[in-house]
Amino acid sequence: MKLLITGGGGFLGARLARALLEGGMLAGRHIEAICLTDIAPPPPDLLADAHVHAATGPLLTQLDALKEHRFDGVFHLASAVSGECEADFDLGLRSNLDSTRALLDALRAQAAAGGPVARMVFSSSVAVFGPDSGVPMPALVTDTTLPAPQTSYGTQKLVCEHLVADYTRKGFIDGRSARLMTVTVRPGKPNGAASSFFSGIIREPLAGVDTVCPVGPEVSHPVSSPARTVDGLIKVFEASREALGGRLALNLPGLNVTVAEMLAALEQVAGRAVRERVRFERDERIASIVGGWARGATAERAARLGLAPHERFTDIIEQYIADCRARPDAALTLKGLIA
Amino acid sequence: MKLLITGGGGFLGARLARALLEGGMLAGRHIEAICLTDIAPPPPDLLADAHVHAATGPLLTQLDALKEHRFDGVFHLASAVSGECEADFDLGLRSNLDSTRALLDALRAQAAAGGPVARMVFSSSVAVFGPDSGVPMPALVTDTTLPAPQTSYGTQKLVCEHLVADYTRKGFIDGRSARLMTVTVRPGKPNGAASSFFSGIIREPLAGVDTVCPVGPEVSHPVSSPARTVDGLIKVFEASREALGGRLALNLPGLNVTVAEMLAALEQVAGRAVRERVRFERDERIASIVGGWARGATAERAARLGLAPHERFTDIIEQYIADCRARPDAALTLKGLIA
C-alpha cells in the first residue's frame, strides 16, 4: 500500500514513518511506499530509505504534484499550532482548514477517478474542548463531551473533524479523527504551541538549561508520550469502522497530570538539582490559552481498541531519556542529567 | 442602523424584512436601510420600500459590491437546502460553507477598516443533530446535546456555527447562531428541502390539491410557524451576549409533533375531505434523510429570551390560513377549504 503522511517532516510524522517502516505492514497490508510532505524536508534517515518519497512545501501547493500518486492511506498530521493560530488568524485558517479541505477534495477526486477510497486518520486535538459559561467543562472530558473550543486552533480541528465525518459518510474517504492529547516530552526546540512548556519543563532541565513554567503548578492536563501517540494513530488507522463504534472522532488516551506532579516526577527520575532549573513566571497569554483547555480526559473508545495511557509520568520521562540516549547528540540533550 | 439580510428574497427573509420595516427599530436603534441579497429579487412590496436595497445574485459574487456598505447587523439566512446538498455535494460546500466564510471575512474586513463590528444572526438548523451508533440521539435534543449531523447540510450548518463562534471570540463580529426548527406552513411551491413535505401535507390539501406524504404517520419532528421563527431571529439578534448565556448557538423553540397529529389538526381545522387529500407513499430518499433528524427538541435558552413555541398545531394551521386570507391569491391557496 501507498501511504501519505502530511506533516511527515515533523517530530511526530517522522516518528510515525519510522514505526511504519520498521513494521513494514499496516492493517494487514504490505507498505510499498510512504510519501512525506511537510514545509521542511524529513530527517536524513528517512530520506535515505528507498520506500520514502519527500514532497517539501506547504501542503496547499503540494496537492497538485501529489495527484500522480494514488494513496491507500493518509495520516494527516500537518497543522499550524495553537499559539501561531491565535497570533495569525489567516495562517490558521489556511494551514488547518483550507489545507484539510483541499486534501479531502484531492482524495475525493482520486476515488472518483477510479482510485482507492483512501483510509485517513486526521490528527485532531484535545483543544476542541473548552469551558463554556453556559455549561461548565467537566473535570474529565470524554468521547461524548460537547466540544466548545476556546481557540482558533481548536475550532479548526473541530471543523475538520466534521468535514472528515461527512466526506466519509458520502463514501469519498474512509476517515476517522484521533484527538491527540498534549504530546510530551517533545525533543528539540520550543515551538509556537501554547502547550510547548509541557515538554520544555522536562526537556530543558534535563539538558542543563534553566527554563520558565508560564502557568501555575496546579494546572492539570492530559498528556501522552510520543510513542503512545504514534501507537494510537496506527491503531485508529487499523480499526474497522465497526470497532470505532459509530462516531468517527475519538480521544486518544492521556495521563491526567498536574505541573506539580510532572516536576515531582522529574525530581524523582533526575534529582533535585535538575528540577530546580524550572522557575515559575506567569505568562498571561499562555495561561489564558491553557486555562481554556481540558484539565483531564478519558478515552473509553480508544481503550476498546487496546490503547492505554502511561500510568506514571516517571515512565514518560524515562522513555524520553532512553530516546535521547539512542541519539548522537545525547551528551547535549541530557547534559543536565549527566552533570 | 444598516442591515443586511442574506436570503432576503426568500420566504423567511422577506417576512423578516417586513417585520423589521414595520417595527422600524431593532435592538433599540432606528433602522435606516435594509439590503436584501438573494439569487432572486425580493417581492415587489419590499422593492418598492425606500429603505430597501436589493442585491441580486449568488452571495459569493455579491460580497465585493456590498463592501461599500458598512453593516451594523446581518441576518445570514441564505442557504442551499438539505435535499440539494445531499444531491450536489459541491453546491452545498459552496453555498453554505464558502459563502458563509466569505461573508465572515467581509465583516471582519469592515471592522478592521474602522467600520462597525457587525452583529450577526446565523440561521443554523435542527439538522445539526443526528443519531449516532455510539450514542443514541435523545428523544428530545437540547441546547447541549452533542451534535452528530447525518447530512452534508447539517454538517455545513454546524461547521459555520463554530466559525461564527470563533470570529466572535476574536472580536471580528458579534455573532450568534439560531438553530431553526422546521418551518411550517411555508407558502408557495415545494422546494428541494427533504423537510418540504412538512408544509406540503397542510398547504396542498388546503389549496384543493392531492399530495403525498413520503414518511410514515409516526414520524415526529420539532416544527415552528414562520411568525414564531421570525420572532426568534429578531429576539436572538437583540439579546445581549450575557442573556445568550455563554454558548453562541441555541435552539429556537419548536412544537414536537407527529405527522399523524399534524393531519388530525388539519382535519379539525379544515374537515375530513381536506385531510383525505393526503395519502402515504414512502420515499426512501426522503425517509432516510428524515430518519436521521431529531424527533423533538427543547429550547431552554430561547425560553429565557422570552421565546415559546406554539402549543397546538391547529394554531399553526390557523395562522397559515389567516396569512393566506390576507393575500390576493387567497382563492387559490385556500381553494380546498372554500370548496
Q: Which helix (H) or strand (E) holds B54?
A: strand B52-56
Q: In B, which residues are within 8 Å of A145 by CB distance?
A: 146
Q: Report pLDDT digits (tens) over A252-304.
A: 999 999 999 999 999 999 999 999 999 999 999 999 888 888 999 999 999 99
Smallest Cβ distance to B135: which of A144, A148, A165? A144
CA distance B127 to B292: 8
A173-182 burial: b if 16+ Cβ within 10 Å, else e: bbbbbbbbbb
User: How far, CA to CA in Å, does B174 sit from each of A101, B81, B104, B169?
Assistant: 26, 25, 11, 8
What is the overall mean pLDDT for chain B? 94
What pLDDT does residue B21 have? 98
Of the listed ranges B11-20, B167-176, B242-251, the least confidently predicted one is B242-251
Sorted by sequence, the CB contacts under 8 Å of residue A256 that are 6+ apart come out as A140, A220, A221, A222, A295, A296, A297
Residue of A89, A162, A251 to mutate for B, most B C-beta atoms under 10 A: A162
Helix (H, G, I), strand (E, B) or coil at A254: coil
Check residue A239 and give its pLDDT: 96
Q: Which residues of A touch B169 (CB under 8 A)?
A: 150
pLDDT of residue A277: 97
Cβ distance of A301 and B158 shorter than 8 Å: no
Kindly tell me the burial class for residue A131, based on how many C-beta atoms sit within 10 Å of its own C-beta (0-12, 13-18, 19 or more): middle
Shortest CA gap A146–chain B (Å): 5
Contact between A129 and A294 under an 8 Å Cβ cutoff? The reply is yes
CB contact under 8 A, A246 and B170: no
- State the smallest CA–CA distance between residue B307 and chain A in angstroms: 18
pLDDT in tens, A147-164: 999 899 999 999 999 999
8 Å CB contact of A158 and B162: yes
Q: Which of B156, B157, B146, B93 is nearest to A250 (CA)?
A: B146
Residue type for position B43 = P
- Residues from chain B that touch A89, judged by Cβ atoms under 8 A, are 170
Interface of B with A (CB under 8 A): 89, 132-135, 143-146, 148-150, 152, 155, 158-159, 162-163, 165-166, 169-170, 245-247, 301
Q: What is the pLDDT of residue B91?
A: 96
Mean pLDDT of B64-80: 91
pLDDT at A46: 97
Q: Is the pLDDT of residue B135 over 80?
A: no
- Is A245 in contact with A305 (CB distance < 8 Å)? no
Residue B227 and residue B310: Cα distance in Å, rounded? 10
- Residue A76, H or E segment: strand A73-76
CB atoms within 10 A of CB B104: 24
Q: Which of B135, B144, B159 sits opposite A163 (nearest CB)?
A: B159
DSSP letter for B8, please: T
Contact between A178 and A233 under an 8 Å Cβ cutoff? The reply is yes
pLDDT at A339: 65
Q: Which three cell numbers stand for residue B227?
A: 411568525
> Which three cell numbers mark B101?
466564510
Positions of B marked catalytic? 153
Residue B99 clears pLDDT 70, i.e. is over it: yes
Angle CA B168–B172–B176, to nearest 5: 30
Q: Nearest residue of B to residue A130 by CA position?
A: B247
Residue B95 pLDDT class (50, 70, 90 cuts): very high
Taking CA atoms, what residue in B is nearest to A86?
B170
Q: Predicted confidence band at B338 (pLDDT cuts at 50, 70, 90)?
A: confident
- CA–CA dist A166, A168 (Å, integer): 5
Give chain A's domains with CATH numbers. Answer: 2-181+225-251 (3.40.50.720), 194-221+254-295+311-338 (3.90.25.10)
- Answer whether A166 sits within 8 Å of B143, measured CB to CB: no
pLDDT of residue B339: 65
pLDDT at A32 over 90: yes
Across the interface, whether the CB atoms of B170 and A150 are under 8 A apart is answered no
Mean pLDDT of chain A: 94
- Count of A-B CB contacts under 8 Å: 64
pLDDT band at residue B179 using 50, 70 and 90 as cut-offs: very high
**pLDDT value at position A139?**
86
pLDDT in the model for residue A66: 80
Contacts 24+ apart (CB under 8 A), A182-185: A182/A126, A182/A221, A182/A222, A182/A223, A182/A224, A182/A254, A183/A12, A183/A223, A183/A224, A183/A225, A183/A226, A183/A229, A184/A223, A184/A224, A184/A225, A184/A316, A185/A225, A185/A226, A185/A316, A185/A317, A185/A320
**Half-sphere exposure of B275 toward its Cβ, with a 13 Å CA cutoff?**
17
Q: How confident is the model at residue B256 (pLDDT cuts 50, 70, 90)?
A: very high
pLDDT of residue B154: 95
Q: If you write DSSP's letter for every residue of B96-132 in order, what string do you get?
A: IIIHHHHHHHHHHHHHHTT----EEEEEEEGGG----
Predicted confidence (pLDDT) at residue A186 exceeds the cutoff of 80: yes
Rg (CA), chain A: 19
Cβ atoms of A317 and A185 within 8 Å: the answer is yes
Q: Distance between CA atoms of A78 and A7, rounded to whole angstroms? A: 4
Overall average pLDDT of the B192-208 stretch? 94
Q: Where are the beta strands (DSSP E) in A259-324?
A: 278-280
- pLDDT attached to residue B306: 96
The residues, any chain, with a CB within 8 Å of residue A223's CB and separated by 6 or more, are A181, A182, A183, A184, A198, A254, A255, A257, A313, A316
Four-residue CA torsion sign, B254, B255, B261, B267: negative
Q: Judge: B146–A150 Cβ closer than 8 Å, yes or no.
A: no
Contacts of B271 (CB under 8 A, 6+ apart): none
Give the three-state DSSP class for B223.
strand
Q: Which three cell numbers stand for residue B179?
A: 438553530
Contact B82, B289 (CB under 8 A): yes
pLDDT at residue A62 in the model: 85
Q: What is the DSSP string of B293-324?
A: S-S-B--HHHHHTT----S-HHHHHHHHHHHH
- As a whole number, mean pLDDT of residues A113-131 equals 94
Return the pLDDT at B133.
Answer: 58
**pLDDT exceeds cutoff 90 at B102:** yes
Most confident region among A48-62, B66-80, B258-272 by mean pLDDT: B258-272
Average of pLDDT values for B291-307? 93
The reported pLDDT for the residue numbered A253 is 97
Q: What is the pTM of this model?
A: 0.95
Beta strands B29-30 and B25-26: pairing type? antiparallel
Mutate to test the interface with A, among B124, B159, B301 (most CBs of A within 10 A): B159
Tell me how crowded residue A186 is: count the other CB atoms within 10 A of its CB: 22
List of residues 6+ apart from A19 with CB closer than 8 A = A230, A234
pLDDT of residue A89: 97
| Res. B41: pLDDT tops 90 | yes
Does pLDDT of A243 surpass 70? yes
What ipTM score was computed for the predicted complex, to two decimals?
A: 0.94
Mean pLDDT confidence for A95-119: 96
Number of C-alpha atoms within 13 angstroms, CB side, residue B127? 25
> Three-class SS of residue B227?
helix
Residue B232 pLDDT: 98
Vertex A180, ends B172 and A104: CA angle to 5°? Answer: 65
- For A6, A185, A204, A317, the CA distances from A271, given in Å and listed in that order, are 39, 17, 14, 12
Residue in B162, B164, B173, B176 to test binding to A, most A beta-carbons within 10 Å: B162
Q: What is the predicted pLDDT for the residue at B300?
A: 94
